[in-house]
Structure 1
Amino acid sequence: MMTDPIADMLTRIRNANSAGHDRVEFPASKLKAAVCKVMKDEGYIRSFKIIAKSTSDIKIKVLLKEDAIIGLEKVSKPGLRQYRGYKDISRVISGLGTSILSTSQGVLSDREARKRKVGGEVICNVW
């Protein structure tokens, strides 16, 4: 059993990106798919697809952009969750990066969370 599946997903993306691969696969979940959707909307990945080989073997396949992701950082950890109000969401690299948050309105980027005036758990930072 994995303690932190989101950290595993981010590590797989980080490793594939630094190794120069153009795609990566990992086990699927709704939260991982939502994080991938935000990353796609913000322009960090080309696309993602949910692949069901069987009912028990469901994966997410991510197509990476070349040199789009410089860094990925997990913020909220299982032992210490990080929650922020919309006014307290810090900017990643002076606004050049993106924070991904899990809010009551779904998984959102920091820009969208500020626009909707909703806070939540800061999942990760991408730049």
Structure 2
Amino acid sequence: MSLQSTDPIADLLTRIRNAALVGKTEIRVPTSKLKKVVAEQLVKNHYLAGVKVEDGKPRGTLVVKLAKDGENCPITEITRVSKPGRRVYTAASDIPKVKQGRGIVLVSTSKGVMTGAEAVKAKLGGEVLLKVY
């Protein structure tokens, strides 16, 4: 039986949110290029502690470290903005700010997945994937 999700990014975010609520420090999810890039952006912006890919037979496993041992996860809120039923696109000048700039949005642009601030600096719009605070 296959546990295939119609929205793998929402599945990743839900697993992160649930693990943070119960105090876990690590989760394992089936890997994809987009999930890996999203997790790496969250690590780069200090919302996650680390990410690595473990190879498996059918496909690899993405191991996401939420927080260092003895610390709490810094993510307070993580939500999916653009969904399969309603895609949300934005121009570079209209990229939203999260909590007056204290959070970030991840935007999928023609140059790859980047934060809202990076997209504004590069003058690129795209699909608003998620917001994190």
Q: What are the Cα deviations for residues 18-53 of structure 1, in whole angstroms up to 9, with x where unaligned?
A: 110000111100000110111011100011001112
Structure having the larger proportion of residues in strand: 1
Identity of aligned residues (%): 40
Q: Residues 28-85 of structure 1, C-alpha deviation per residue, up to 9 Å, x if partnerless?
A: 000001101110111000110011122x131100111223100001000001100011
- 1:111 is aligned to 117
Verify: 1:63 aligned to 2:57, yes or no: no
Deviations 1:97-121 (A, max 9, x none): 0001110000001111111110100
Quote the residue 1:95 is aligned against: 101
Within 5 Å, give how 1:1-127 maps onto structure 2.
Answer: 1-54=4-57, 56-65=58-67, 66-127=72-133
Structure 2 residue runs without a partner (length 5+): none
Q: Structure 1: how far apart are the matches of 2:96 and 2:107? A: 12
Query: What's the TM-score, normalizing by structure 1?
Result: 0.96
* Matches of 1:38 and 1:85, distance apart in 2: 20
Number of equivalenced pairs = 126
Question: C-alpha separation between the residues in 2 aligned to 1:53 and 1:4?
Answer: 22
Task: Name the TM-score, length of structure 2 as normaliser.
Answer: 0.92
Please give the alpha-carbon distance, in whole angstroms, between the structure 1 residues aligned to 2:111 and 2:56: 30
